[in-house]
Each structure stands twice: as C-alpha cells, then as structure tokens.
Amino acid sequence: MNKAITDGVVFMPPAFENGLGVWSSEDGTPGSLTYVGAGNAALVPADQDFDGCLELFKDQNTQKLRYMGQTPFEQGCYLRVSARVKAISGPLPEARVATWAAQASGAHAGGYVENGPATALTAYGEVVEVSAIIGSGSRNGVDMIWGADVAYAHVGIDLTGTNGAVVRIDDIVVEDVTGAYLRDMMDWVDVRDFGAAGDGVTDDKAAFQAADAAANGRTVLVPEGTYRIASNLTLHADVRFEGTLTMPDNAYLSLTRNFDLPTYIDAFGTELLGFRKAFQALLHYADHEILDMCGRRIDVTSPIDMQDAYNSGDSFLIRRVIKNGQFYVVGGSAWDDEVTTATAQYNAANPYRLTNVANISAVMPGSVVSGFGVGREIYVKTVDVANSEVELSQPLWGAAANQTYTFTRHKYVLDFGGFAEVNRLNLIEVELQCNGHASGVMLPRDGENFVFQDCFFIKPKNRGISSVGRGCQDLHLDRCQFISNEQGIAATDRVSVAFNVNANDAKIRDNRFQRMGTSMVLHGSGHIIQGNHLFQGDEVTDGPRVAGLVFTYENNKTVLNGNYIDNCFVEWNNEHDAFPDFGSEYSFGGMTITGNIFTANDVASWFKWIYVKPFGTGHYLSGLHVTNNTFRTIAGAINRVEGVSTTHADLDYWSMKDVTFENNAFVGISQKTISPVTLEFNQNTEAATWVLDGSDYLPFGGNARTVQSVTIEGDLRDAGNNQVWDNPHVLVNQGPSYKKVALTWSKAVRGTAHVTMRVDRPV
C-alpha cells in the first residue's frame, strides 16, 4: 500500500529553492513567522553535496524549521521524514526530525511524541541524514505513534545544542513506507516472507515454522506453489492454503487451530490424500480428538488402508472420532474381490489354525473363508507365510482333516484390517455410499469399543462392517442404516451381510437394516440387541425367508428387546464350535426375547420366526425366555412361530430347563406357542386315566415334562353319577412321543380339569 501511488496523496514538501514563504521558524501553523527575509537564513543555489539547499545560522536554543503545508496522516499509513544536513562552522549542534501534529480542526493534537531521535554533527562538511518514522501502530522502527485524532502534520527538523552554528540543510523528504509494514498490518503472514521457496524441491519446513511463530494470532498464508515439507510439522496458527504441500508418507502435518478435512484437502490438493493425512494427524497429535469432515464428500476410487495412512505402528488405544462426511465410491477394478483356492489341514484340537496351506502367499488377511464344514463369517485374521499357516477368526464346525478352501478378499472403503489393535474409535454421522462396488468398514484384528453412531451404509457390495478377529469387543452400533444393493432380488439369492461380531458385549441399538442378505451374525455373549428394524422380504409369492439375526454361540447371555423383525427370522446355532456335539459346556441358553414385533407377509406356511439349529448332538434349551412379543402375519397364515432345524441334529428334549414362552400376542398364527400353558380338558365318559394332549402348544416340539397344577372345574362324577372327591396322580412324558400328560384316578370318573403343563423341568 502506498497512498502517493494508489490515491495520489502528496506528502513531499516543496524544495527550498521555490521560496521560503512556506517554511516557518515556529510550529508551521498559519500566521507563524517564516524565513522570508530572515537574517539567519539564506538559499544556497549550488552546494557541492546538495545542489540547492538552505543555510541556517543557529541563534535559538531550539532552531525550528517547519513546512507550513499540511502533510496528511491517516491510520494504517507509515511516513518516513528525512533530511540531509552538514555543519559549516561554529559549535557543532544536534539535528532531529520534528513535527507538529494537528487535528482536523487545526488544533494541536497533544499527548504524542513529535520528535525523532537526535543525531550529533561531529565534523564540518560531513553529510549526516536524520530521519524518523510516523505511524499508527507500535511497530519496530516507528518513532512517533499517533492516534486517529491526528489529521495532518507540519514536518521539518530541529537544531539543538550551542548557538552559533552554521548548518546547511538539503530538501525535506517525506516518503510513504507503509509497504515495509504491510505484512504486520494484515491479518495474515506469508510463508514466502520467511524464505519458503514453493518449488517442490526445497525443504520449506523452517520457513513454515518461522511464519507460524510470527503469526501471533494471524493466519499463515501458503500462496500458490508446491511446498516440500520433509518431516513432521505442527502449526499452531490458522492456515490458509492456496498452494499445496508434499510430504513423505511417514511425516504428519498437525494443524492445531483449523484441524478439519477441508483444510487438509486444500493442503494436499486431493480428497483422498487430504483424508489420509488428516487421519494420520488425528492419531499422532494428542490435542486432536475429532476429525470433522465438515460435510465434505470424498470420491473414493480404491480402498483406504487406514493403518498405512497412520504409517507409525499398528495399534492405537486412545479415543478418536471421525464425523460428519460422506465417502462416495467410484467403481473400478480396484474394488474387485481377490479369490484364492488352496488346500489346507485342520485339527479341531487347534481350532483357530489352518496348517500346511498351499499357495500361502496368495492368501490375503481379511479374506472370508468358505468350504465344507465352515460356518458363516469366518475370516483370515493373520497369515504366517513362513510356516504356511492361517489364523482364523472362528473355529470350523465340520471341516475334514485335509480339504480345499476358498479365500475371498472383499474390498472395503475404510480398511482397518492392518491394525493389530484399535480401541475407542468412533465414526459419527458418516455416510458410506458404496454404490454396489465396495464393502463398508473392516475392523482391526483386535480392540474394543469401536463405535458407529448415526452412520449410513448405502448399497454395500458384500459387507457393511466386517470383524476379522476380536476388534468388535464391546462394539456399539447406534442409529445406523444399512441399505442393501440386492433389494430387487429374492431373499434367498442375497449374499450381503450387514455386520458380524466375534467377541462379547455388542450394543446394537435403534438401527435399520433394509433387505440385506443377513442383517447380523453374532458370536460371543453379553449382547444387547434393542430397538432395531430388520426387514428382508421380497416380492416372491409364498416365498421362503432367510435369517436376519444369527447367533452362533450356545449360551450367549443376550437380550433381544423391542426390535421390529420383519420377514426374516432369528437363528440360534453353534456353527462356530470345533466340537459341535454337546460336551461339558453350557448348552443353548441365556437368551431373553421380549417386547419385539415379529411380522411377515406373503410367506410360506411353514415359515417360523425363531429357529434353534444345533450343529451337533446332545444339545438342549436351558434359560430361554420368550415373553411379551407380538407375532403377526399378513396375506396368509403360518403354522407356528418357532421350531428346530434338524439338518445336523435334533435337541435333547429330556434336558429342557428354565424355558418360558408366555404373554405373547398371536395374529395369523394357526397354533399358539405357550409354556407354561393352562388348558381345559373335558372328559365326557368315565375313565380311570385321562390322557391330555397339549403338545401343540409346547415350544420347539418339546416333551410335556412338568405339570404345575391341576384344578377340577365343577364335580367329578362316576358311572353311577355319584360325586367323587379324589385327587389324581399326574404322569408326564406320556405317549409314544412323550408329549402328553395323564391324570390317573382311583376309579373311573368324568369331568373337567384345568391343567398347567410345561416343556421344561424346574431348575
């Protein structure tokens, strides 16, 4: 900024040779004395140093010389006043720039410094320059700091010291030097002013650090160019990027004042690289807790390897958050599955290992394993190439000692599989638009308390969230939506899985699963599944349905509460058990199913909402409570709501314990399921033994193992119509299938009894 150039402001006083009528021997105010005709002042037309100049004889203690014109002053403007002087004879004086500050009214603006530093003249004929800077801010080199009430000044010099000196003075010069202070006047500092080259070759780190140190509350400006930063850099000031940075993969950029995704995208020039470097800084810098994507959409053309982005170890155990943005997958070959087939050996005594794996170098960590005897959602956790071994996420229920397996590596938008352990990472209000090209998120191999909150998984190709190990311990899934890419095909043809869990204590709450192949596959125990809506129907008339919730641990200590389970069913099995036959472990139990809405429409009559599917013999139910649910069908009835899948084995009905199935509502169900169930039996002809059949009500086809009570309604009468006062003996497990109850009397009687029977025995 230069007012003389931009606004045409005239700061320079006229030369002395133009006349002394505008030069005052006082303050320069109107009416003050001038040097016209003064005996102590004369013009010298040709001085060897100055050409034309003014010669003064000092006869005052402070010999003043002031320009009577108004030199304008305004805030933000810096003026340098200077003059060259030399002593000719007499005592050697001191010289200084001097002014008189005026308000717009012409009154004196008091209270300000109006003199510059004094300079002693030490030799005759020696040219000495005296100068001073007038400005509005307290900056280095500013001698006179004036406020907004100063409108103009009368500028000049003073001669002080002993009288009698003769001094020659060259013309007074006033210069606008605001440009020298421009950087300090603006709200930014430019890294180029501190030596940044911006050529993509020179290491500009030191220049960035110097600019950051000088900012002092202002913004650091990175102008156009490519700036190489060779090592870690932390900037504490706000930064504005017009140019871009290049940094090694293992060097992080920490922006402590504006740590958000848009700034990192500006810094590195591309969305993907900006996100990777922002995530890297999130984990590296202790003062960063949340990476705010600020609603930005990132076009993703290949999987984002999160551990590679971190580039500093494979574990992170402190809470971090990624929030408020969208990842939009752009299709391409980078998303293609990588499939490997190889033979391997399996020993149930070493249940998490495949050994002697052929073609081991082609097997990728994170691959889904398939083959005979392999359960759902079993992943390759790690690969040991040196020993030709694969570590599995779960055991295999029925694999042969030596057989062929297929390993399929899906591709994920956010792939944390390279991390050995991550704790307490939160994704909040993040949308993954997979567009049928990619899966969503792969969790780290181990860790705890991974949180997804208000996230959207839109059209994942294969998986929404995959756990390849125990990185799902205490997984939190709250208010998320999973919308299938397979909505238009039959439920039985879908292959997608919303998420799986291998560890314990998952909290799955208030989520929505829309026509996924399977909504959830959960191993482990201690799960809370609450308030979710799962719907997996299709347009197939009287069509079969598939499992929406699959529990693969027998005694899972789980609550299924307040969910809306629509056109899919709950399957409870032990397909992740290397020894699926019942042994010394707990069998199927620890499950509470309460307060849910079960609905289905246009399904086959044999459809059921709750299936138990043992993969081995000897299992039974011990601790299952199905209460206060609503079961309803639309457009056709079904036979019953629960059953046992005997593909591999049946249940041991003689060992049922602590099973209740009560206080449920049934609409469009041919046969209600109740235990304990109280039924009315009418014996119209006299008999000593009444055989009572309540088996249709008992859950899972179980035996009539217990009678809690028998109440006689009205009279018991014998063949002679005499009233009989008698108590029966109760026999349970009657009939060829052990599902009936017998009441045995002392003689043949007829009457009505209310009998309460159970499918289980007291604990």
3-class SS of residue 267: helix
Whole-Å CA distances, 369 to 83, 231, 566: 89, 41, 29
Hey, CA dihedral for 361, 366, 367, 368, is it positive or negative?
Answer: positive
Strand order in the sheet with 244-246: 199-203, 226-228, 244-246
676-693: pLDDT as tens digits:
999 999 999 999 999 999
pLDDT of residue 184: 56
Q: Are 226 and 244 in contact (CB under 8 A)?
A: yes
HSE toward the beta carbon, residue 178, CA cutoff 13 A: 17
Share of residues in the chain with pLDDT > 90 (%): 89
Question: Which residues face 95 on adjacent strands?
Answer: 119, 159
| Cα Rg of the chain (Å, integer) | 45
Pick from 16-30, 72-86, 512-526: least confident: 72-86
Q: Say yes or no to pLDDT of 502 above 70.
A: yes
Quickly count helices (H) and strands (E) in the chain. 6, 65
Q: For the residues of 154-183, what is the DSSP string, one character each?
A: EEEEEEESSS--EEEEPPPEEEE-GGGGHH
- For position 718, what pLDDT does the model report? 94
Phi-psi sector, 294: left (phi>0), alpha (psi -120 to 50), beta: left
The predicted structure's pLDDT at residue 186: 66
Mean pLDDT of the chain, nearest integer = 94
DSSP-derived secondary structure letter, 195: T
At 81-119, the pLDDT tens digits run 999 999 999 999 999 999 999 999 999 999 999 999 999
- Average pLDDT score over residue span 325-354: 97
Query: Is 528 a residue whose pLDDT tops 70?
Result: yes
C-alpha distances out from residue 662 to 51, 136, 308, 361, 641, Å? 116, 85, 53, 55, 13
- Distance (Å, whole) CA 472 – CA 527: 12
Residue 635 pLDDT > 90: no
Longest distance between any two alpha carbons in the chain, whole Å: 163
Crossing angle of helices 261-268 and 271-284, in 10° steps, is: 120
Q: How confident is the model at residue 667 (pLDDT cuts 50, 70, 90)?
A: very high
Q: What is the mean pLDDT of residues 224-237?
A: 95
> 130-134, 210-214, 529-533, 745-749: which range is least confident on average?
210-214
pLDDT in tens, 200-214: 999 999 999 989 998
Residue 300 CA to its chain's centroid (Å): 16
d(CA 40, CA 155): 20
Amino acid at 9: V
User: Region 6-35: what's the mean pLDDT?
Assistant: 88
pTM of the predicted model as reported, rounded to 2 decimal places: 0.81
Write out the two tokens for 326: 């969208």
d(CA 291, CA 285): 12
- Judge whether residue 1 has pLDDT over 50: no
> What integer pLDDT is reported at residue 121 of this predicted model?
95
- Tens digit of pLDDT for each residue in 540-589? 888 899 999 999 999 999 999 999 999 999 999 999 999 999 998 999 99
79 touches 174 (CB < 8 A):
yes
What gap in Å lies between CA 24 and CA 32, rounded to an integer? 6
Residue 137 clears pLDDT 80, i.e. is over it: no
Comparing 2 with 172, which gets the higher pLDDT? 172
If you search the block for the tokens 């969790």, which residue do you land on?
A: 443
Is 185 a residue whose pLDDT tops 70?
Answer: no
pLDDT given for residue 732 in this prediction: 95
- The arithmetic mean of pLDDT across residues 361-384, rounded, is 97
Q: How far apart are CA 636 and CA 104, in angstroms?
A: 94
Q: Are residues 215 and 189 in contact, defined by beta-carbon separation less than 8 angstroms?
A: yes
Please name which of 479, 478, 470 lies closest in space to residue 500, comparing C-alpha atoms. 470
Strands 128-135, 569-573: pairing kind = unpaired
For the cut 80, the answer to whether the pLDDT of residue 6 exceeds it is: no
Asked if 240 and 215 count as a contact pair (C-beta separation under 8 A), the reply is: no
Q: How far, rounded to the nearest angstrom, does the alpha carbon of residue 282 sit from its chain's CA centroid?
A: 10
